[in-house]
Amino acid sequence: MMHSWKHDALAADLAEHLRADKRMVWTDMQLGPSGSPRPDVYTLERCYSRPSPTAYEVKISRSDLRSDTTSGKWQKYLQYAGAVVFAVPEGLCTPADIPVGCGLIVRKAATWRHIRKATRAAASLPIDACMKLLMDGVSRTVERRLPMPRAIELWGEHEAIRRKFGQAVALAARDITAAQVQAVDMNRIRAEGWARVDKEVAAHKEYLMSAARQEVAQFEEAKRDLIAWLDLPEGSSGLAIRRAIGALQTACNVDVRVRAAEDKLSRARSYLETALNSLPKPEAAAPAPAPAWSGQAV
């Protein structure tokens, strides 16, 4: 499979991918004195107890890969790294082409994918390598936003301290420099945190404003419906609406009083009829006796 990657571009792309995983990343960094190995990409975890130093070798051709694996050049990295990983474009090789114990990471069309993990061995960085990463390595770290702690001349100052006062003082100086780097890193993280909070606050404010605008629109629509129902002119004010509602309430109250009076009158009529029906009926008068017939004409 053909690819269009150049060596430096592929190494830079790998470094950006690894930095996104919250690691400290260096590119094209010689790890010791003259003649020491220079991995294409070198990483450390942000952890004092387990930094897990890892060296990455970028290969863009099978011939270069075969030359490196045959000569055993990659084994020199084990002096400064607990694991070695080969990084190649997709289709360049298979895990069988990689030395036993080494890892393989492949650049796919969209991103990097680990094909085989490296066998990690315990690794302790020499003091010289630590100082070189802190001093000379600042200009090669992928995380460009970190400012340089003081100046590169600190390397010479620490070398002079080591010669004059010994290893213990040199280690103390290294720890001070490391603390400076950590302080810068913490300030950056804090600034990013505040920026994230500001972004979230702005998003929440926009959400509330949008909800408020929607409620206002619904209120205006309800107001128009109420104006139409009250048979008021379009665009009537709130005062006019209140007056119309008050007049409607008064009219409703008059109807209520009329209905209450009618109810009372009806109940009174019912009571009167009940009382009349309960009175005893008068007895009928006895008929007058017929006069006796005398037989004489009147």
Q: What is the mean pLDDT of residues 185-207?
A: 79
Q: What is the mean pLDDT of residues 99-121?
A: 93
Residue ranges per structural domain of the chain: 7-125, 230-265
What is the spatial order of strands in the sheet that 23-27 belongs to? 23-27, 41-45, 54-58, 83-89, 103-107, 112-116
User: Which tens digits make up the pLDDT trace of 259-290?
Assistant: 777 787 788 777 777 777 777 766 665 666 66
Question: Residue 89 has which token pair?
Answer: 């474009």
Could you please report the per-residue DSSP string of 215-271? HHHHHHHHHHHHHHHTTPPTT--HHHHHHHHHHHHHHHHHHHHHHHHHHHHHHHHHH
Average pLDDT, the chain: 80
pLDDT at 145: 45
User: Which tens digits make up the pLDDT trace of 233-254?
Assistant: 888 888 888 888 888 777 777 6
| 151 pLDDT higher than 90 | no
Question: Residue 47 has which token pair?
Answer: 């952890």
Name which of 33-37, 123-127, 167-171, 222-226 the model is least confident about.
Answer: 167-171
pLDDT at 189: 78
State how far the Cα of 138 lies from the Cα of 55, in Å rounded to an integer: 17
State how far the Cα of 287 lies from the Cα of 293, in Å rounded to an integer: 18
Torsion over CA: 68, 72, 74, 77 (sign): negative
Q: Residue 195's CB: how many other CB atoms inside 10 A?
A: 10
State how far the Cα of 240 lies from the Cα of 233, in Å rounded to an integer: 10
State how far the Cα of 93 lies from the Cα of 65, in Å rounded to an integer: 9
State how far the Cα of 280 lies from the Cα of 290, in Å rounded to an integer: 30
Question: Residue 203 has which token pair?
Answer: 């998003």
Query: Does pTM top 0.85 for this prediction?
Result: no
pLDDT at 292: 62
Architecture of the structural domain at 7-125: 3-Layer(aba) Sandwich (3.40)
Tell me the CB-side half-sphere exposure of residue 20, using CA atoms within 13 A: 8
